[in-house]
Structure 1
Amino acid sequence: MADSRPNVLFVLTDQERYDCSAPDGPPVETPTLDRLSSEGVRFSQAFTPISICTSARASLMTGQFPHGHGMLNNSHEADAIRPNLPPEMETFSELLAEGGYDLSYTGKWHVGRDQTPEDFGFSYLGGSDTHHDDIDDAFREYREERGVPLGEVDLEEELYTGSDPRDASEGTFVAAKTPVDVEETRAYFLAERTIDAIEAHAVGGRADGETDSGSDDAPFFHRADFYGPHHPYVVPEPYASMYDLEAIEPPASYAETFEGKPQVHENYLHYRGADGFDWDHWAEATAKYWGFVTLIDDQLERVLEALEEYGLADETVVVHASDHGDFVGAHRQFNKGPLMYDDTYRIPLQVRWPGVVEPGAVCEAPVHLHDLAATFLEMGNVAVPDNFDSRSLVPLLESGGDPDAVSGGWPDSVFAQYHGDEFGLYTQRMVRTRRFKYVYNGPDVDELYDLEGDPAELQNLIDHPEYGEVRRKLRERLIEWMEKTEDPNQGWVPDVLRNAS
């Protein structure tokens, strides 16, 4: 009997802001993501459980919040709390592989210091970088074959954090223009490897070239993880000069004063070295970031065209998301950190599922990135483990994005957390509804934002007398999330919150 389960193409970008592909966002050219939204469903209220690469990606794999899987900060750092996932911890990919799917993977991993996608059911087809993973030489060899070895290119328009944004001797590398051709970028290479995988599946083989011992019609799951638009925002022409610096306006949150905010917010401005940037520098960085987004969008178009060319488009679910966002000057900040603003916690999410999803639907239900773990399993008719903090999005996909049509209802809030990165540990928890956001900061003042009147999250209302009842209800909602997910902080934080004025 033929296997009728869908193929899945999952495209995960690295540090892509939600607003770049939102209809009311900045003027970033994303025709392919716009096409996915028009041919599928766009989730307008999708959030990462944590704005740290390793932690978010581990949640995606395990269907658990970070406190459940234990990878609280980045695995490549010397102070990683847990450098690898415990081998006994269940992941959606291993369960799909056991269920008969042929899994392949290209690009960024960053879920373990000593582990690779091949430890979790995937065949790895290359594309890693030396900073986060360094698990193959495929891209390096590709560049050498093209006569443009990595590390032997003179970049232009380089931008760094620190007191002198043009000084390469200090600070963090932010952005630059590269003289290489588009075909020599890692984004192009990852798309090429993904197209190779699609072609292999189309002719009845495995993406890694091995003989498939299972059914010839076994569905495939391919994951394409792009290294970008994470900094450094290094792009070639035409993307490097695609966006006019003079036309880029500061976001509303650029007016940040840090008044009434946790002290770590202003400290982080200096810690990241972003205090040396004025708006001209941020405009330059923003232009390169937007160019990076469009570069990846164009590579995704090549991938979607391959699905059509090989006759797989109608039987393949296409999912695009990002692990988390990026400040890119919002709140005058760089990268991400102990600041739970929508700039880094709200993520893009589009799902195209021919014959199931209503084209052009918009789902306003709040969902988590790691809900995709349960979603992929349900698509593959594989049981979701009881220990997953993940709820399948399939009922939302089948109902045109209407949460009221979902049996048992759908939560009206999301829960997120932060535990620190390379600067040390720092406890945060967040609960967000459509209108309000409450952030618990263990060592400092809490935060409360009315997103309807203050979408830029500039005014902390935590002590505002007119928001006392809102504050109380959100604290109770946060306690409920902590109890539901067995957050280890539930032993003492709930009493702190209930006793707070």
Structure 2
Amino acid sequence: MSVTSLLACSLLAAPLPGAPPSENKGRPNILLILADDLGYQDLGCYGGPFETPALDRLASEGVRFTQAYAPAPICSASRAAILTGRSPARLNFTFVTKPEAGRQAIPGAPLKTPPYTLQLPLEEVTTAEVLGDAGYDTAFFGKWHLNPHHGRYLGWSPEFGPPKQGFETAVEDFGGHPYNTDRSKEPTPDGAFPEDSLTDRAIDYLENRGTDAAPFYLHVSHFYVHTPVKPRAKWLTDRYRNESGMQQSRAQYAAFVQTLDHQVGRLLTALEESGLTENTLVVFFSDNGGDPRFARHAPLRGHKWTLYEGGVRVPMIVRGPGVPVGKTIDAPVIGTDLLPTFADYAGVIPLNTRPLDGISIRRRIEGHGEPRGARKMLWHFPYYHPETGVAFPTRPVGWNDPQAPFVGPHSALMVGGYKAIYFYETEALELYDLSADPGERTDLAANDPALRELWKDRLFDRLAAVDARLPESADR
């Protein structure tokens, strides 16, 4: 048995004691649908201006979280944390994968950022390994982005791809996204959406399962709505422009979001037609906030690449056995909660052989109660972004910025309803009461040095506890 398998086995314990009555009906299938760069307010059920009937229906049939958080404001780091239940700071995986080892080389930068992390190490234990050792069939289709590009942009590494991290069935496929250069770029006929082979493969997986098959964990990882935003459903772009008066780029993004919704709807329909809906836990989530060139986050501040709310607060919808219907949940949850939650539903307990940062939120999902104590969440982004076209000094992050302002290394800590953000270049700390000020406009620590030091100590204690790598002076 491989080292990875041994580690995964060591995470499994006896079935959960005192499980709810729904557990007696058998362990549920688990379907995780992950969107790419979908902003908090892009869906209709989150107040967005786009038509998203499939996801709106999913929300009406389950629960919708208003304070769900991505583990990172950027793709690879967030996805690694979602798969392992461990924060990017603990994983030392806090940026995107790179072709080769090294550091950021930004002229004039006063800080030296940590070395790049190239891939998710095989010794990390993923949800697929935990559930696979618990008897689940495991499958992955779509975007991985946890190894350097292999063979092509976003190509899976044969040494570090999904098959090496516990997924028994895994097919590399861009689907209908513009990344797929093999697909026709001709506009689709009026009323038609582009084909999507990624979704087709996931549907085939559902339809070809026997009646006596083991429960499954199916991870469908879309490339939508990541750039390039070039929807083939031109008719839909035109409709948004004509009916809503949107500018071209915004109308194209609207068509992209609705295309994602259409493909999710196809998958959910296949689930229903296969007779699997009743015993399948469905979770829809986004890897980080939206791209500021297209998504609109206000009244939330910031966007993808920042630790303000617009960068990490994301849509999350859950439907399944024991889940209330049509409920909104305002309590904070984070992507690292998914592994322990799925393990809970599978009837196994992840032990502390590899410390987790997430917790099971099953009781919260099912309305059985809240965890004790104030929830603590840590974010760590010790890099500069963007890496080109840099101009110092950095300028403040605002609300609905038309493009990404240059930001420096920063970290954030949320305890209860309070969130502190620390900027390493200026050694400045901002503190916000999210319950009263979700737009992060009033810095409670602006005129209170003692409060700033208190929260700085709290943040750095937490970073030290997970052995996070910090930026250093460029002179060192």
TM tier, smaller: 0.7 to 0.9
Please give the alpha-carbon distance, in whole angstroms, between the structure 1 residues aligned to 2:281 and 2:197. 22
> Among 22, 25, 28, which residue is 2:47 paired with?
25
Match of 1:128 among 160, 170, 173: 173
Amino acid at match of 2:167: F
- 1:448 partner amino acid: L
Instruction: Give matches, 1:171-210, under 5 Å.
Output: 178=187, 185=194, 188-201=196-209, 203-204=210-211
Instruction: Give a deviation string over 1:417-475, Cα, whole Å, max 9, x none.
Output: 11326729953211235754321111123333455665444x4636632x667645544
Indicate yes or no: 2:380 matched with 1:417: yes
Q: Is residue 374 of structure 1 aligned with residue 349 of structure 2?
A: no
1:312, 1:381 → 2: CA distance?
Answer: 19
1:300 to 2:272 alignment: no
Is the counterpart of residue 99 in structure 1 residue 134 in structure 2?
yes
SS in 2 for 1:222: strand
Match of 1:244 in 2: 241
What CA distance in whole angstroms lies between the structure 2 residues aligned with 1:436 and 1:28? Answer: 31
Distance 1:231 1:18 in 2: 17
> Does the 8 A contact of 2:120 with 2:147 survive in 1?
yes
Query: Is 1:66 aligned with 2:83?
Result: no
Seen in structure 2, the aligned counterparts of structure 1 residues 248 and 430 have a Cα distance that, compared at 3 Å, is farther
1:482-501 deviation per Cα after TM superposition (whole angstroms, max 9, x unaligned):
3554445599xxxxxxxxxx
| Counterpart for residue 280 of structure 1 | none
Q: Does 1:464 align with 2:446?
A: yes
The residue aligned with 2:330 is 364
Q: Tell me whether 1:388 sits opposite 2:388 in the alignment.
A: no
State the partner residue of 1:157: none
The alignment status of 1:478 with 2:459, answered yes or no, reads yes
Q: CA deviation at 1:196?
A: 0.5
Match of 1:116 among 138, 153, 161: 161
Q: Which of these residues, 300, 307, 311, is aligned with residue 344 of structure 1? A: 311
Contact residue 52 and residue 257 of structure 2 kept, 8 A: yes
Could you report, residue by residue, the CA deviation over 1:16-38 in whole angstroms, capped at 9, with x for unpaired residues? 11112264523121222122212
- Indicate conservation of the 8 Å contact 2:147/2:161, yes or no: yes
Q: Aligned pair in 2 of structure 1 residues 449, 3: CA closer, same or farther (>3 Å)?
A: closer
Contact kept, 8 Å, 1:239 with 1:292, in 2: the verdict is: no
Amino acid of the structure 2 residue aligned with 1:192: D
Q: How high is the TM-score relative to the length of structure 1?
A: 0.70
**Secondary structure at the residue paired with 1:43?**
strand
Instruction: Provide, for residues 276-312 of structure 1, a one-character-per-residue CA deviation record: whole Å limited to 9, x for no partner.
Output: xxxxxxx432222222111111111111111111111
Q: CA deviation at 1:6?
A: 0.6
* Cα shift at 1:406: 3.1
What is the CA–CA distance in structure 1 between the aligned matches of 2:436 and 2:449, rounded to whole Å?
Answer: 17
- What is the total number of aligned residue pairs between the two structures? 398
Q: Could you tell me how far 1:151 is from its partner in structure 2?
A: 7.2
Please, which of 176, 182, 188 is the counterpart of residue 150 of structure 1?
182
Cα distance in structure 2, aligned partners of 1:371 and 1:479:
22
Higher helix share goes to which structure?
1
The answer (yes or no) to whether the contact 2:71–2:82 under 8 Å persists in 1 is no
Q: Structure 1's 371 and 334: CA in aligned 2 closer, same or farther, altered over 3 A?
A: closer
Structure 2: give runs of 5+ residues left out of the alignment. 1-23, 103-115, 149-156, 389-406
Distance in 2, matches of 1:94 and 1:367, equals: 23
Q: 2:123 aligns with which of 88, 108, 120?
A: 88
Q: Which residue of 2 aligns with 1:398?
A: 366
2:413 is aligned, of 394, 413, 431, to: 431
Verify the 8 A CA contact 2:41 2:297 in the aligned structure 1.
no
C-alpha separation between the residues in 2 aligned to 1:22 and 1:484? 40
Residue of structure 2 equivalent to 1:10: 32
- Provide the rounded CA distance (Å) in 2 between the counterparts of 1:54 and 1:119: 17
Q: Is the 8 A contact 2:378 2:414 kept in 1?
A: yes
Stretches of structure 1 lacking an aligned partner (at least 5 in a row): 130-137, 144-148, 155-177, 205-215, 250-282, 492-501
1:495 matched to which residue of 2? none
In the alignment, is the contact (CA less than 8 A) between 1:365 and 1:412 conserved in 2?
no
Structure 2 counterpart of 1:291: 255
Q: 1:86 to 1:29 in 2, by over 3 A?
A: same
Q: Percent identity?
A: 29
CA distance in 1, matches of 2:189, 2:161: 29
CA deviations on 1:69-119 (whole Å, 9 max, x unpaired) are 222221144456221222222222112111111011111111123321111
Does the CA-based 8 Å contact 1:44-1:348 persist in structure 2? yes
